[in-house]
Amino acid sequence: MRRLVKRRLRWLPNLVKALYLLATVLILATQVALPARAQDSVEALITQIFAPKGAATYELQAHVRGMFSLTTGSGFIAGTAAGDFRQWRLPGGPRRWRVTIQELELPWLLRPFSRTVRASIEKKVEEQSEAFQSFRDYDVFISEELAGGQYALVGLRRDIVDEAITRFGRSADKQDVASRRTIAQWLFTAPSMQSWIKRAGQPYALKVVTDESGLVYELQVSYERSQVGMKFSYLTVGAQPAWKEVLSAGY
C-alpha cells in the first residue's frame, strides 16, 4: 500500500495549480501601431501599480479559508486550507504578498504528505507575487476596458515577441514599443497562435486588472500547462481601500 501511495503521489511537487504562417506574415506586414493615447494609458497604469507618486508604506492582512484540488493520474482530490494572507509595500517598492497555511484538511491517505502539500500551496502564491514583480519586463497592452473604470492589462514575454519579429517581422520593430505591443496583442488574441506562445519556464503571459489608482483587482499567471490567479475585492475604511475578499484559483 505504501508503495502504491508513493507512486500515485509523484505529482506532489507540482501541486495546486490557486497559432498559420501566412496569416502571421500578413498581419505583421500590415500592422498598425497603437494610438499614442493608448500607449500613454498603458504607461500611466503600470506606473500607478508599481511606483505611484507619494506611495506610502502599508500592510494588509486577512485570514483566508478555501478549497483546493490536487490533480492525479486518476482524477482530482479535494482538500481545504486556511491561514494568513499578507500584502505589503515598502517605500519605493511594488506590492508583494505571501500566504502562510496554518490549517490543512486532507484525505487520510495524503495526511503523511501534509508538509509537502502546505509548502506547495505557499510556493504557488509566492511564485505569483514574483511573477507580478516582473510585469514591467513583459510587452504590455490594454486588452479590455471594463466597467467601473477598470482596465485589463496583458503582458506577453518579450522573448516570445522577439522571436515573432525575427521570424515574421522587421528588425526595427524590436526597438519600437508601439509595434511590440501591437504584435504582443495579436499573438495573444489570434486563435492560430495560442499553442505557439505557450512556453516552458517562467510565465509566458500575465493578466492584471487594475484602475487608475493602481489597485489590483485580479492577477492571472499563465504557464505552459497551467494557470493560477487571484482576485481581490475592496471596501473603504477611513478613506483607504481594504480587502473585502481574496479569492485564489488554479488549474
**Bridge partners, 64 (sequence order):** 83
Instruction: Tell me the pLDDT band of 13, cut-offs 50, 70 and 90.
Output: very low
56-77: per-residue pLDDT in tens? 677 777 777 776 766 666 666 7
Per-residue model confidence (pLDDT) at position 3:
46
Q: Indicate if the pLDDT at residue 146 is higher than 90.
A: yes
Instruction: Tell me the pLDDT band of 28, cut-offs 50, 70 and 90.
Output: very low
102-111: per-residue pLDDT in tens? 888 888 877 8
Whose CA is closest to 243, among 85, 54, 53, 83?
Answer: 85
Per-residue model confidence (pLDDT) at position 71:
63
More confident residue, 242 or 221: 221
**Bridge partners, 183 (sequence order):** none
Instruction: Tell me the pLDDT band of 53, cut-offs 50, 70 and 90.
Output: low
Question: Which conformational region is residue 27 in: left (phi greater than 0), alpha (psi within -120 to 50 degrees), or beta?
Answer: alpha
More confident residue, 146 or 121: 146
CB atoms within 10 A of CB 85: 18
Residue pair 107/3 in contact (Cβ under 8 Å)? The answer is no
More confident residue, 191 or 88: 191
Q: Indicate if the pLDDT at residue 141 is higher than 90.
A: yes
Instruction: Tell me the pLDDT band of 177, cut-offs 50, 70 and 90.
Output: very high
Q: How far apart are alpha carbons 43 and 192 in whole angstroms?
A: 29
This prediction's pTM: 0.70
Whose CA is closest to 182, among 5, 14, 3, 36?
Answer: 36
Residue with cell 483566508: 64
Whose CA is closest to 160, among 135, 129, 193, 130?
Answer: 193
